[in-house]
Structure 1
Amino acid sequence: MTDRIPSTRSGRDGPLVRTVVHPEVPRPRSSEDNLLEVRRIRWSEDLLVVSATGEIDLATAGRLERALWGDLPAATVLDLTEVTFLGVAGLRVIESAATRAHAERRATGVVASTRPVLRLLHLFGVDAHVSVYQYLATAIREVSMAVPAPKP
C-alpha cells in the first residue's frame, strides 16, 4: 500500500510530492491443521508407516505424538521426507516414541532426506539410537527385518 503525501517544501513546479510505502500488516499464522499433515499407513500386519508433511514444531508436535501412540505393531517407520521444519518439540516426540518402542521390544526407524531434519537428528544424537534412512523402501525392508523376537 502506498500513499502520496505532499511535502511542505516546494519546487519550481509546485509542491513536492513524495511516496511513502507502508509495510504489509502481518497475517496471523495458519492453524495447526494447515501446518502439518500426518498419515498412518498400515503397510502390513507387523508394520506401520507414519508419514508427516509440513512443519513439526511446538504447535504441531501433538499431532505427530498422537499418531505414534496407542497400540502399535511390531515395527514402525516414521517418514519425514516431506517435513520442511523440525523443531525441538518434534525431536522430543521422535525420541519418546523410539524409547517406548525399545522398551516394548518393537523396531523403529526414521526416513529423512532434507538437510534441516537430518542436521537436527544428528546434532541432538537421535541418529545414534534410532536408525535413520534416506529412502522409505530401504527403511521398510530394514525395519521389518529388525523386529525383535518375542520374550520367552
Structure 2
Amino acid sequence: MAGTVVISVVGDVDTDTAPALQAAAASAIDDTTGEDCVLDLTEVSFLNSAGLTALVEATAHAEARREPLRIVVDSNRPVIRPIELTGLDELLRLYHTVEEALAAGNQSQRHES
C-alpha cells in the first residue's frame, strides 16, 4: 500500500522510551492521511505500564482520525503478556505479522470501496 507507514520498535518500551513511541506513532498516524499505520513490536524485549499507556493513547489518536492502528506482536511474550494481563487485547488491533496487518488493511479498504 502506497501510504502505509510501518514503525518498527526495538528494545525496551518503558517510562523513558514510551513518550518517544507515542510521539512517533502520532506523527505517523497524522502523516498517513487515510492510509494504515502499523506498529511492529516483535523486537520489543520489555513493555511496562508506560508502554501500555502509549499504545492505548496511540490507538485512541488513530481512532479519532478514523484510521486504525494495527499492532504486530507475533507471540512475543514480553509484549503480549502485559497486553493480555491488562485486557488490552480486547481493545488493541493485534496481528502476528506485518504482512497480516497490511492484508487486514487491504481487506477493509476493499469493503469500503
| 8 Å Cα contact 2:44-2:78 kept in structure 1 | no
TM-score (normalizing by structure 1): 0.64
User: Relative contact order, CA 8 A, sep 6+: which one is greater?
Assistant: 2
Shift of 1:88: 0.6
Q: Secondary structure at the match of 1:137?
A: helix
Give the structure 1 partner of residue 31 of structure 2: 72
1:120 corresponds to which of 82, 95, 98:
82
Structure 1 residue runs of 5 or longer lacking an equivalent are: 1-43
Q: In 2, Cα distance between the equivalents of 1:48 and 1:144?
A: 14
Would you tell me which structure has more helix in proportion to its own residues?
2
From the CA coordinates, give the structure whose radius of gyration is larger: 1
Q: How many residue pairs align between the two structures?
A: 107
| 8 Å Cα contact 1:57-1:85 kept in structure 2 | yes
Q: In 2, Cα distance between the equivalents of 1:144 and 1:91?
A: 27
Shift of 1:80: 0.3
Would you tell me which structure has more strand in proportion to its own residues?
1
Q: In 1, Cα distance between the equivalents of 2:84 and 2:31?
A: 26
Give the structure 2 partner of residue 56 of structure 1: 13
Give the structure 2 partner of residue 101 of structure 1: 62
CA RMSD, 1 decimal = 1.9
1:89 corresponds to which of 44, 50, 54:
50
What's the % identity of the aligned pairs?
34
| 8 Å Cα contact 1:52-1:82 kept in structure 2 | yes
Asked if 1:111 corresponds to 2:68, the answer is no
Task: Give, as a single letter, the amino acid of the residue that structure 1 aligns with 2:64.
Answer: A
Q: In 1, Cα distance between the equivalents of 2:16 and 2:91?
A: 26
Q: In 2, Cα distance between the equivalents of 1:130 and 1:144?
A: 18
Shift of 1:49: 0.6
Q: Secondary structure at the match of 2:31?
A: coil
Give the structure 2 partner of residue 140 of structure 1: 102
Shift of 1:83: 0.2
| 8 Å Cα contact 1:54-1:83 kept in structure 2 | yes
